[in-house]
Structure 1
Amino acid sequence: MELNEDVVTDVLKRLRRAQGQVGGVIQMIEDGRDCKDVVTQLAAVSRALDRAGFKIIASGLTQCVREAGEGSPQAEADREQLEKLFLALA
């Protein structure tokens, strides 16, 4: 599966944001920050990663259906695989 340039740009932006948030969480833990603040930031990191994953899966599903043709055995197999990936993120 190849992702279009817009999707790649958006996913990379989300992943870089999550990377920065993880660094912030590490620093918060090292600084002995309040547990509530740490958990709040961890939740934000988790959402950022989920959104990146969902973006990739949605783009892949659209591309697979378009390329393989609706109703073809390959489209169905690709859709099932992407559904499993989606559920793994949920």
Structure 2
Amino acid sequence: MDLDPTDMKPVLNRLRRAQGQLTAVIRMIDEGQDCTSVVTQLAAVSSALDRAGFAIIASTLEKCVKQDDPELDKAQLEKLFLSLA
């Protein structure tokens, strides 16, 4: 995969946070914590992974879309892509 390391730094940070959240979910289950807390944290992990995936896709699509709309930046592209979810 040919991804710009500068573009991927926030994605990697998001994935590392998700990894920490997932570790916390596993620990919560092991400790027998209540379902509401577990599901809330699991939803946060899922959202973080989705956002990381969208950011990767947006970064990849940017090259293609920039040909049609050179003024579109990564944040706008990600927002546009997220509107489809």
Runs of 4+ in structure 1 deviating by more than 2 angstroms, as ranges, are none
Structure 1, unpaired ranges of 5+: 71-85
Aligned to 1:33: 33
Residues matched between the structures, number = 72
TM norm structure 1: 0.69
| Cα-to-partner distance string for 1:38-77 (whole Å, 9 max, x where unaligned) | 00000000010011001011111112344xx55xxxxxxx
Give the aligned residue type for 1:3. L
Aligned to 2:19: 19
Distance 1:51 1:14 in 2: 8
Aligned to 1:48: 48
TM norm structure 2: 0.73
Structure 2, unpaired ranges of 5+: 69-80
Shift of 1:3: 1.8
Distance 2:4 2:64 in 1: 13
Sequence identity (%):
63
